[in-house]
Amino acid sequence: MRRMGRTIAGMALALAAGLAAATAGAAPLTADRAVQMALERNSQVVGANAGVLEARSGLYGAYAGLLPRLSADLTRSQTVVRNQTGGRNVGGGLTSPISSDFEQHGTAPALSGSWGFLNLSSLSAWSAARTGLKAAQQRRVATRNDVALSARRQFYEVVKAVRLAAVAENALRLASDDERRVHALFEVGSVSRSDLLKAQVRTAQSELDSLTASQAVVVQRVTLAGLLGVEESRMGEVDTLLTFEPHVYDGAARVAEAGKGRPDLMAAEGELAAARASLRSARFTRLPYVTASASYQINPSSRSTSTILPPGLPGFINPGTSSTRSKTDRLFSGQIALNWDLFDGLSTDSRVASARARLWRAQDARDVLRRNLAAEVHEALLGYQAGLVQDRVARRALESAAENVKLTQQKYNVGSATILELIDAQVQLQRAQSDQVSALAAIRVAEATLDRVRGRSE
């Protein structure tokens, strides 16, 4: 059973090592590079970019309500009537049926334009769209900061998993060596069978821990690859170096910095301003507005031909063909109108209600961010301070555990300590090593979180 456990753990470690070395020769993946990859390929960033594009589209649509429209037309017309039969009213009497043909051709190049000005609703809609675009850009920055934080947090989860897997592998190797020594002592009668059983249990537990740690490496790598938008096998080896420089932060200064630099807060302020402008735009649709339009035709021309077919026609109607031609240098027409939509089927009321609902949501979202801002900053600062304390405790515990192993080993060498006491000291050392790795990873995550709440994640 132990051989099977060792085999499974070895296979898991080999799999993790093989995946990490898939891009042999390439530089290890660092936290900054992971953030850069996430900002280029993460789905949330793509969605935020699309949101900015949609907001820009809304701004272009709002400009359409303010700017004049100009169009050019070239019209070529033709009318043909063949064998039209009927009487004509001549001198108060109707003649006998007459057969006639008619053909007309015309060409009319024209320029036409319209402009709806003095429209307060369109002006407010444009203001709302412009502010909405700025809010969308700030939301994109906030999304990028969130993605950067997630990438850093997951990156250090991978680093922690790799370091803990190495500790677990060392523990397994140490447990196997201890079991062999305890077995040899049992064979000569120096230890009891219960001591041997305890050593075997410890080896089995170490095998399970090593397997679990190796699987955790693969799982965390797959999660990180999903955030980065790449295949896990192409992610490469991860830089497992965990170092940091401790800093002292002023809580009040960090809160003030967050209030000025948080992109999500600025986006909420922009969305609130856009919602207010949208409500004004909806209300202004009840007011009258002025429109102007004009048309300008250049050298319009027309030609017509009319033919009356004989025979048997009365003498006062001359059969034959007649034609006319006309041409004008230019033709201009224009108008200005005052419009007032007195009743639009409650469409304005619908717009006002929708805009007011948007305003309520934007107001609440902004207030929530403002209300929780100081608490988020203080929580991040406490997390960072807790990480520093945890690191100091872990370092002292590691030093004590390492010294304890040395002393216990010396005692064991002179026969004043048992093998089980030595094993316990080694177990404490392994736990201290794991705690230090977790503390270092927690500090780096706390640093990233603190940057995020200050608005400086990238």
Among the residues of 245-308, which ranges form H helices?
251-261, 263-284
For residues 217 and 210, what is the distance between their CA atoms, to the nearest angstrom? 11
Question: CA of 205: how far to CAs of 303, 336, 419, 438, in Å?
Answer: 104, 90, 18, 21
Tell me the pLDDT tens digit for each residue of 318-352.
Answer: 556 677 777 777 788 888 888 888 887 788 889 89
pLDDT the model gives residue 91:
57
Q: Which residues of the chain fall below pLDDT 50?
A: 1-5, 7-9, 11-24, 311-313, 315-316
Instruction: Tokens for 190, please give them.
Output: 């120096």
∠ Cα 138 441 450 (to 5°): 30
For residues 269 and 133, what is the distance between their CA atoms, to the nearest angstrom? 12
Burial class (CB in 10 A: 0-12, 13-18, 19+), 72: exposed
DSSP string computed for 92-143: TEEPSPEEEEEEEEEEEEEEEEEEEES-HHHHHHHHHHHHHHHHHHHHHHHH
Burial class (CB in 10 A: 0-12, 13-18, 19+), 176: middle
Question: CA of 289: how far to CAs of 117, 119, 120, 192, 255, in Å?
Answer: 7, 5, 8, 101, 47
pLDDT the model gives residue 270:
92
For residues 23 and 369, what is the distance between their CA atoms, to the nearest angstrom? 43
Residue 400 is given by DSSP the state H
Question: CA of 23: how far to CAs of 27, 67, 226, in Å?
Answer: 9, 56, 18
Domain with CATH 1.20.1600.10 in the chain: 2-66+119-286+344-454
Enter the CATH code of domain 2-66+119-286+344-454.
1.20.1600.10
Query: Is residue 124 a contact partner of residue 277, using CB atoms and an 8 Å limit?
Result: yes
Residue 23 is given by DSSP the state T
Query: Is residue 69 a contact partner of residue 115, using CB atoms and an 8 Å limit?
Result: yes
Is the sign of the CA dihedral 446, 449, 454, 458 positive or negative? positive
Query: Is residue 397 a contact partner of residue 384, using CB atoms and an 8 Å limit?
Result: no
pLDDT the model gives residue 311:
45
pLDDT the model gives residue 41:
87
For residues 134 and 271, what is the distance between their CA atoms, to the nearest angstrom? 9
Tell me the pLDDT tens digit for each residue of 98-145.
Answer: 676 777 778 888 888 888 878 888 899 999 999 999 999 999 999 999
